[in-house]
Amino acid sequence: MRKSHGSGAKHALPRGIVASMEALGEEEFTSKRVWLIEQKCDVCKQETKLYPVRVSQDGHYLTDDKEDQGLTYFWCAECRAA
């Protein structure tokens, strides 16, 4: 279990993935992982690499200095940069 300290690499999801890869080894982790959601951006719906982004109750991006509201969207690099 990991705690979020922001979006992107600071989010609990990628921090947990890295810890799992270190524990299992990258090859075993990659062969056993299962996606539970479609790999589509929550904004533009493109199938691409996704980044976890902390958002407010109304879906607005939360900067790292804002209090976590427990909501995460998955955005592509382009939507995240906007």
Domain that holds residue 43: 8-81
Alpha-carbon span 37 to 31, nearest angstrom: 17
Give me the pLDDT at residue 46, please: 95
Q: Is residue 30 part of a domain?
A: yes
Which among 40, 62, 60 is positioned nearest to 50, based on CA atoms?
Answer: 40
Say if residues 1 and 16 touch (Cβ distance below 8 Å). yes
- How many CB atoms lie under 10 A from the CB of residue 72? 18
Which amino acid, one-letter code, is at 79? C
pLDDT in tens, the chain (82 residues): 778 777 778 888 888 888 999 999 999 998 998 888 888 999 999 999 888 888 888 888 887 778 777 788 999 999 988 8
Task: Please tell me whether the overall predicted TM-score, pTM, comes out greater than 0.75 for this model.
Answer: no
* Residue 75: per-residue pLDDT: 92
Residue 67 forms part of a structural domain:
yes
Tell me, yes or no, whether 69 lies in a domain. Answer: yes
Q: What is the pLDDT of residue 25?
A: 94
In a domain, 1, yes or no: no
